[in-house]
Amino acid sequence: MFFQFIDILGTIAFAISGALVAMNKRMDPFGVLIIAFVTAAGGGTLRDVMIGIEPVSWMKNMTFVYVVMSSAFFAVLFRKRINYLRKSLFLFDTIGIALYTVVGVETGIIAGLHPLICIALGTMTACFGGVLRDMLCNEIPVVFRKEIYATACILGAITYVVLSFFYEDKSILYVISGLVVITIRLVAVRFQISLPTLYNEEEGKDAL
């Protein structure tokens, strides 16, 4: 039950994140709904396809569809209050990747996969929806930039797998692992910590 609750919270966070990006691009209501749905469903769809769940989860559970539609409607309705876009988008996106990381890892564990595969599955579940969102909105996906994004998901997923050997209470695992992802992302942005780039400023200027 708690697992489903976490999944729904992640869906809400990512749907609102997608809707905010779509509204920033001045899309019509249909476009906002599509981007919200792709952001919320992308990672879970990839996860289910990779582990052989047919049909994918959201096709069997209409609650997911209703949650996405309601979240997109909420974002549109209260856009003037939550649309301090950079802060709101960052907040909902960070919550989304934290929640979807633990959902992805737990799904892999339930499927009996190797811990390393579970970590990869959790990371892909968290990141893929955002990748699709940014690509459809003509943006370079955050995960492909030097920001600490996928790295936070990987560390959160590792935390989940390691702690699962010591704790049986899943709720403790969800909370601790999710907080690891959120904390790393917040600290990285607050102190402008980023991954090293392969290119220096001079090379970038030459390319232009």
Query: Rounded distance, CA 42 to CA 10, Å?
Result: 12
Residue 195: count other Cβ atoms within 10 Å of its Cβ.
13
pLDDT (average), residues 169-192: 92
The predicted structure's pLDDT at residue 22: 93
**Which band of pLDDT confidence, cut at 50, 70 and 90, is reported for residue 207?**
very low
Helix (H), strand (E) at residue 116: helix 115-136
The predicted structure's pLDDT at residue 79: 77
User: What does the domain layout of the chain look like in residue ranges?
Assistant: 2-195
**Which band of pLDDT confidence, cut at 50, 70 and 90, is reported for residue 147?**
confident
**Which band of pLDDT confidence, cut at 50, 70 and 90, is reported for residue 84?**
low
Rounded to two decimals, the pTM is 0.87
The predicted structure's pLDDT at residue 108: 95
The predicted structure's pLDDT at residue 195: 77
**Which band of pLDDT confidence, cut at 50, 70 and 90, is reported for residue 208?**
very low
C-alpha distance from residue 183 to each of 8, 81, 99, 115 (Å): 21, 25, 13, 23
